[in-house]
Amino acid sequence: MSAYLQTVGITKYYGGVCALKGANFDLRAGEVHALVGENGAGKSTLARILAGSTRADGGTISLRGEPVEIATPLDGQRLGIGIIYQELDLFPNLTVGENIVIGNLHFAEGRTVNFRRMEEFCRPFLDQVGLACGIRQTVATLSIGQMQLLAIARALSMDARIILMDEPTSSLFEDAAERLFGLIASLKHRGVSIVYVSHKMDEIFRVCDRATVLRDGETVGTVELAGAGVNDLIRMMVGRELQFAARAARRPAGETILAAENLTTSKIKNVSFELRRGEVLGIAGLVGSGRSELGAALFGIDRIESGTLRMQGGSIAPRSPRDAMTSGIGLLPEDRRLQGLMMRMSVLENATLAVLTEISGLGFIHRGQEFSVVAPVARRLELNCPSTSAPVSQLSGGNQQKVLLARWLLLNPSVLFLDDPTRGIDIGAKHDIYRLIDQLASDGKAIILVSSELPELLRCCDRILVLNEGRVTAHYDAGDATQEKIMSAATNAEVRT
């Protein structure tokens, strides 16, 4: 069967970071085609390029053998390509009908709103997806599952022959997901092609015909799913080289410092683990698996609904980050710009923010002392900045992360939760952070390390906990863990040990 939509050598850079380098992909008419890969492999970027919401820097796209240019979402619509974003780009305060007709080339809007005409236009598509609601209903009153159906109805109303779905089941409950799979089958039956971006293996094997695997922005290959197994796909996804020197031999871990038992919040379920002094515990899992939410529970951000948390034997229930810090828990957040740094403040001011009371008297900051406490930490981290009074916004990503690490080194908590500390930073800074983790562990600190990069976890950790949909699905000693085992536990919902 010949390709309906084909891409050759698509490249995309974000700043200096390469998101896609030579992505090849072909889609047949009337097939459901999975796009899979690890976090950051480039799946969503490729989907956005096909829909025209992101522009590629190089490569060609052809539709029915003709080269096409998809520069804007409107171009995508003209070519019959629709996209359902993970976060559903609907207007929550507008009505169902308005959401369908807005920007729709197939509905000529008059100067005034004509609800009868809108109803006539929208109803067939709402029926097709099985969404029984009035067109005057406000979108915010719909459930997530209904919103998803609405987004699909909108794509259909734009006469989409290709629908791209980015993680469509990530926020759906079981029954809503079932309804979605039924709809996908009937769309396929009518000759609509679907690109299904997901990392849930069971779903992929259930609804898709073929799968294309991306790794680090490149196409690894395309397989017919009928003749393949989960392990084949996982091998293609992870095959990244271990590019780091193995960690120095590990000293025996000390006594237990933090113990969680059946920890449950609105986002994680029955998570139990023990953490010893001098130990690095890795947390593996896809985005949304509950790995950051585990940190939110320990750091007093999400309310603990049930389960116990013991710190050095004493029961704790942190109700705020301040509480957690008093108990000796620190957290380096996942998003350093949104949750970590004050971008308009200086390196010095950012570093000392959590220890101001220790370097002040009667409320006045001792400036000399402030400088002298930061200087050795900056040296230890090999922080590279023009001066410590420069705003952090002038630093590179790696150095910004080091400033944030300096804040925690100054506070010196016994347990430090590092949420993806090497995300989006250069290789040199990554190595510095690995070395720091080793040092902290040798000094008797207990580290919890969340990471999207499996080689990184294998490099740094003594034990690795795998989370999936808020639950622990596997628990390995570093010696027993492999990338394949971890990815398998992270993508499959059933519990395995």
Partner 1 sequence: MQSARGGAGLLRRAQSLAALLGILILAIVISPTASDGSRIFLQAGNLTDILRQVSLIGIISLSMTFVILTGGIDLSVGSILALATALVAMFLTRGYTTHIAVAILAAVAAAALAGALNGAVVAFTGIQPFIVTLASMIGVRGLAKWLTNNQNIDIGFGKDLASEFAAIFREKAIVIGAYALVAAMFWVVLARTVFGRHVRAVGDNEKAAEYAGLPIRATKIWVYTLSGLFTGFAGVLYAAENHQGNPNAGVAYELDAIAAVVIGGTRLSGGKGSISGTIIGTLIIGVLTNMLRLNNVDSNVEMMIKAVIIVLAVAVQRERNGT
Closer residue to partner 1, CB minimum distance, 118 or 341: 341
Per-residue contact flags (x/-) with partner 1 for residues 396 to 435, judged by CB under 8 A: -----------x----------------------------
365: contact with partner 1 by CB under 8 A: yes
15: contact with partner 1 by CB under 8 A: no
Nearest approach, Cβ of residue 347 and partner 1 (Å): 12
The footprint of partner 1 on this chain (CB under 8 A) covers a number of residues equal to: 33
Contact 345, 391 (CB under 8 A): yes
217: contact with partner 1 by CB under 8 A: no
Q: Which residues pair with 222 in a beta bridge?
A: 212
Nearest approach, Cβ of residue 331 and partner 1 (Å): 7
Closer residue to partner 1, CB minimum distance, 272 or 394: 394
325: contact with partner 1 by CB under 8 A: yes
393: contact with partner 1 by CB under 8 A: yes
CB atoms within 10 A of CB 29: 15
357: contact with partner 1 by CB under 8 A: yes
Q: Supply the DSSP string of 102-160, one letter for each residue.
A: TT-TTS---SS--HHHHHHHHHHHHHHHT----TTSBGGGS-HHHHHHHHHHHHHHTT-
SS3 (DSSP) at 330? strand
User: d(Cα 309, Cα 110) in Å, to the nearest integer?
Assistant: 61
317: contact with partner 1 by CB under 8 A: no
174: contact with partner 1 by CB under 8 A: no
| φ, ψ dihedrals at 55, nearest 5° | -100, 135
How is residue 315 written in tokens? 């029961």
Among 52, 168, 328, 333, binds partner 1 (CB under 8 A): 333
Closer residue to partner 1, CB minimum distance, 171 or 360: 360
478: contact with partner 1 by CB under 8 A: no
Contact 348, 386 (CB under 8 A): no
Q: Supply the DSSP string of 370-397, one letter for each residue.
A: HHHHHHHHHHHTT---S-TTSBGGGS-H
How is residue 431 written in tokens? 């190595």
391: contact with partner 1 by CB under 8 A: yes
User: d(Cα 94, Cα 84) in Å, to the nearest integer?
Assistant: 18
Which range touches partner 1 (CB under 8 A), out of 119-127, 142-150, 315-323, 461-469? 315-323
Among 364, 368, 479, 497, binds partner 1 (CB under 8 A): 364
302: contact with partner 1 by CB under 8 A: no
User: d(Cα 98, Cα 111) in Å, to the nearest integer?
Assistant: 14
Q: Which residues pair with 21 in a beta bridge?
A: 11
β-pairing, 280-284 with 446-450?
Answer: parallel
339: contact with partner 1 by CB under 8 A: yes
Number of H helices, E strands in the chain: 16, 22
Contact 410, 349 (CB under 8 A): no
SS3 (DSSP) at 76? helix
Among 102, 248, 375, 390, binds partner 1 (CB under 8 A): 390
331: contact with partner 1 by CB under 8 A: yes
Report the interface residues with partner 1, using CB under 8 A.
Answer: 299, 301, 320-322, 324-325, 331, 333, 338-345, 349, 353-354, 356-357, 360, 363-365, 367, 386, 390-391, 393-394, 407
